[in-house]
Amino acid sequence: MKDIAELALDVAVSSGASYADCRVVQRGVQALSVKDGSFAAVSSFEDEGVGIRVIVDGAWGFAGVDRLDSDSLGEAARTACRIARASSRLRRQAVRLAPCPVAVGEYRTPIGRDPFEVSLEEKMDLLIRADEAMASVEGVTTHEASLEFVREHRLFASSEGSVVEQVLVQSGGGMDATATSADDVQTRSFPNSFGRHQVCAGYEAIEGLDLAGSAPRIAAEAVALLSAPPCPTGRLTLILDGTQAALQVHESCGHPTELDRVRGDEAAYAGTSFLTPDLVGRFRYGSEQVTITADATTPGGLGTYGWDDEGVEAQRTVLVDRGLFRGYMSSRETAADYGWQSSGAMRAESWNRIPLIRMTNVNLEPGQSSLEEMIASTEHGVYLQTNRSWSIDDRRLNFQFGTQNGWEIRDGRPVRLVKNALYAGRTPEFWRSCDAVAGPSEWRVWGVVNCGKGQPSQLMHVGHGAAPCRFRGVAVTAAS
Amino acid sequence: MSLSAPDDLLALADGILERVGRDRAEVVVVEQEEGLTRFARNQIHQNVAERSRRFRLRLMGDEQVGVAEIRGDVDDLAGRLVAAAEAARRLSPPGDVTPLPRPDAGPDGPVAYSAATAACTPEWRADQVATVAAVSAMAGLEAFGALETSLTHTAVANSLGVRRHAESTAASLVCVTRGENGWGYADRHHHDAAGIDAEAMTAEAVETCGRNQGAVPIEPGVYPVVLSPYAVADLVGHLSDLGFSALAHQEHRSFMRAGEKLMSSLVSIADDASHPGGMPFPFDDEGVSTRCVSCIEEGVCRSFVHDSATALREDVPSTGHALPMPNTFGPWARHLVVSPGESSLEELIAGCDGGLYVTRLWYVRDVHPLRTVITGMTRDGTFLIESGRLGRPVRDLRFTQSIVDALAEVSGVGRERSIELDENERAMLVPALGIGRFAFTS
């Protein structure tokens, strides 16, 4: 891989690049799914290619190619330079990069059982048991369980002398049970919605999910939701489970603290941000209970690595400190605009995409409370679990989220299952209403596998550590 | 740009099938070159190109299926592909296996293809963006957006004799313009890059932006609206995903009730992959010819789109709407066409006094799938309609609205249509719509 990168860099520099970097990526994905006891699919995806990024005449160019012979690499490097020259026709200020130390090293995801060495029989048996356990519940219409494993071997090299090689492994799994009636459809997912829960870990992460053990409960909840009353309406106390708290953090803190959004780089697609730089250190984003960090060193997180896709070392950045807005996730280019150092958050979906500022693991740090304590001290509220719908405006202020499952709380006890819960608000008012976050024993790193950004579009896997948390006076209603 | 010749891609597919031997198998080869020039603040800030070729092998047994994909020019690609698919198939538990389709003699056309798009260069894209920037700067505005051009070769072959090939192109220019106190939006999509008038498109975004300065808040509530084609695309895309698929119907989660009138008689929606005004493409991911399916006809629910799996369950022919098989997602309508009406945009607006004109919807998500309730925001230009014309701009609003209920209240349909992309980058041909009631919730 190093030879491939060196060849590409040599051609780029000799073609006029003042800076060049190269990512050589080999990626393997294995996916298994079963559905309704009669559908089963096993698939594999092997991907290999090179992405070459250059600065020529003060502007960026990029070319990706899936052929690793010297002719193709040379052509791609020259194409990247040609593209940069075309960019320079419409560039008023030359690209500047914040300095970073030359990086040399290796990183491998710590794993127990290599998921690619676990037999397909063992994996399929796990899925079949989970699917059969869901099927055993009367009233379930469809049921599905799936697993996904990813191994990515990545080498980054730059014209500044950085060479880092990483092997990143992910394991993910999940299941959905759906129940239908003449006028309703209800789905319960476990451990998370949108297909699965995924982490940077080995097969031990899948074993720890106990899909078959949880399957009957999930299926029974889907059926029960059909006859459950709608979520009550009003300004209520709201308790979110860890999965929903993770998504709340993702949408309302992770995205607005991406510095490229602040610059307007994403204005035409993903949007901008209400967190402008003049607010750093001055703006009350949330209550004292709220501390949010971006941490590419969180064990097991989907956003955990050794170096980002610019060769900047993984690090922890405080975004919100006891409610006060403190900082951003950044790149070498965006950080240079403000005289900062990069926070090491540049990530590309694969070799064929440029790196963009993406979330690493954006974590709501654990607090002092517990779910039990939060419920016990709630007079009237709802406890919501597992995301069902999510929508937020392009500046990340006005949001509305819905969940699969809800429990109405009265006088400190969950009293009845409710369905179709929706809650809405504005980001800073919402986070300022947070009066409790559960502690470390209930804190867990969740994975989001469908974060979209960029043109052409890229999907990124990001992590969020979160625990159950409580908010006061939130507008809650039911979808109808 | 230049990719492999059609015969070369089919020959590669044939070579893999030969390697498979006597087993039943399907090979899909997709080769693509794309370039995208992105701009912000009237400057090019990202500029990319990619070339790739991807192979997919589906290996069939009587009760087992295995799938393997490779992207990249790896050693012994055919051997690795076959070995991986065989390993997957061997260890896949027995289940229902939908047979491979047989050849259906459909033509490999029409296809949205333009030699001009295939020949686009980074310099050409930069020149177009320079035009966008110049028009915006003349108006004192900043432009943000992207210009993308792509060339795709697709070949599908299976051991029962299916052999399909198509060469397609696409060009898209998207732009938001920013003033002191508001934004405007416009886009253009076409298979022919020469058919995209960057200057005219930017002028539209500039004009909207100019109107959208100093937006005022209004009370949420139920309003009559005129939705631009940009907004209609999101509505129609979500409606399709909530019910046009035969799998959704078979799993009892489609809103569609065949034969029942759920919407205004002014509303007709089909999936028509051969429509000359859209982005035509002749076959699906199984190589089955894509037929025109009338999903909503004058407000009445009609037909569903099928792949071979859903078709087998109902003993009907596939309509050619398969995604890569097998999958649990089901068939997908990819060429939605909304029938035009008789009204100009000005007439729709004039007939909506006291209502709102919505340029664009944003971050639309399903809230209650069976009732087709969606939520999202307006964006980049929402205006009061006052005295039958566009009036004061209003601050963006959140809506929570049943699509079916909204389409039941359609009061007028535009006669002009444009190709728009929804959030899944699916091209559809849509007009503007006048809708009598649309609920804004915050």
Q: Decide if pLDDT at B219 tops 90.
A: yes
Q: Report the alpha-carbon distance of residue B108 to residue B334 in Å, rounded.
A: 17
pTM of the model: 0.95
Note whether A391 contacts B51, CB cutoff 8 Å. no
Q: What local confidence, expressed as pLDDT, does residue B2 receive?
A: 58
Q: Decide if pLDDT at B43 tops 80.
A: yes
pLDDT tens profile B352-389: 999 999 999 999 999 999 999 999 999 999 999 999 99
Closest chain B CA to residue A144 = B328
Q: Which of B46, B133, B442 sits opposite A398 (nearest CB)?
A: B442
Peptide bond into B229 cis (omega under 30): no
Nearest to A445 by CA among A461, A462, A460, A463: A463
Closest chain B CA to residue A62 = B48
Q: Which chain A residues are Cβ-neighbours of B373 within 8 angstroms?
A: 479-480
Note whether B71 contacts A47, CB cutoff 8 Å. yes
Q: Which of A92, A119, A393 sits opposite B362 (nearest CB)?
A: A393
Band (B62; pLDDT cuts 50, 70, 90) = confident
Contacts of A132 (CB under 8 A, 6+ apart): A37
Nearest to A350 by CA among B436, B50, B359, B109: B50
Band (B276; pLDDT cuts 50, 70, 90) = very high
Give the number of other Cβ atoms within 10 Å of residue A387's Cβ. Answer: 24
Note whether A60 contacts B47, CB cutoff 8 Å. yes
* Residues forming a β-bridge with B304: none
Band (B96; pLDDT cuts 50, 70, 90) = confident
Note whether B95 contacts A64, CB cutoff 8 Å. no
Q: Which segment of A361-365, B76-80, B184-188, B208-212 scores lowest on mean pLDDT?
A: B76-80
Dihedral angle, C-alpha A48, A84, B115, A49, nearest 10 °: 0
Tokens 């079916």 belong to residue: B404
Q: Decide if pLDDT at B81 tops 70.
A: yes
Q: What local confidence, expressed as pLDDT, does residue B429 receive?
A: 98
Q: Decide if pLDDT at B1 tops 50.
A: no
Tokens linked to A298? 């969180």
Q: Which of A41, A121, A263 sits opposite B67 (nearest CB)?
A: A41
Helix-, strand-, coil-residue percentages of chain B, each rounded to 5: 25, 40, 35
Q: Report the alpha-carbon distance of residue B324 to residue B331 in Å, rounded.
A: 10
Q: Report the alpha-carbon distance of residue A378 to residue A25 in Å, rounded.
A: 51
Note whether A91 contacts B80, CB cutoff 8 Å. no
Q: What local confidence, expressed as pLDDT, does residue B6 receive?
A: 76
Q: Left (φ > 0), alpha (ψ -120 to 50) or beta: where does B11 sit?
A: alpha
pLDDT tens profile B194-204: 999 999 999 99
pLDDT tens profile A77-116: 999 999 999 999 998 899 999 999 999 999 999 999 999 9
Q: Which chain A residues are Cβ-neighbours of B126 within 8 angstroms?
A: 86-87, 89-90
Q: Are B207 and B186 in contact (CB under 8 A)?
A: no
**Closest-CA distance of chain B to residue A305, Å:** 24
pLDDT tens profile B288-345: 999 999 999 999 999 999 999 999 999 999 999 999 999 999 999 999 999 999 999 9
Q: Which chain B residues are Cβ-neighbours of A268 within 8 angstroms?
A: 38, 40, 144-146, 174-176
* Per-residue DSSP letter, A251: I
Element (H, E) at B273: none
* Rg (alpha carbons) of chain A, rounded to whole number: 23
Q: Print burial letters for A332-367: b (CB count within 10 Å at least 16), e (below 16).
A: bbbbbbeebbbbbbbbbbbbbbbbbbbbbbbbbbbb
Q: Within chain B, how many helices (H) and strands (E) appear?
A: 10, 17
The stretches in chain A having pLDDT less than 50 are none
Best B176, B242, B329, B377 residue to mutate vs chain A (most A CBs within 10 Å) = B377
Q: Are B114 and B165 in contact (CB under 8 A)?
A: no
| DSSP calls for A188-207 | EEES-STT-EEESS-THHHH
Q: Which chain A residues are Cβ-neighbours of B252 within 8 angstroms?
A: 141, 180, 185
Q: What local confidence, expressed as pLDDT, does residue A38 receive?
A: 82
pLDDT tens profile B109-136: 899 999 999 999 999 999 999 999 999 9
Averaged pLDDT for residues B3-20: 89
Band (B74; pLDDT cuts 50, 70, 90) = confident
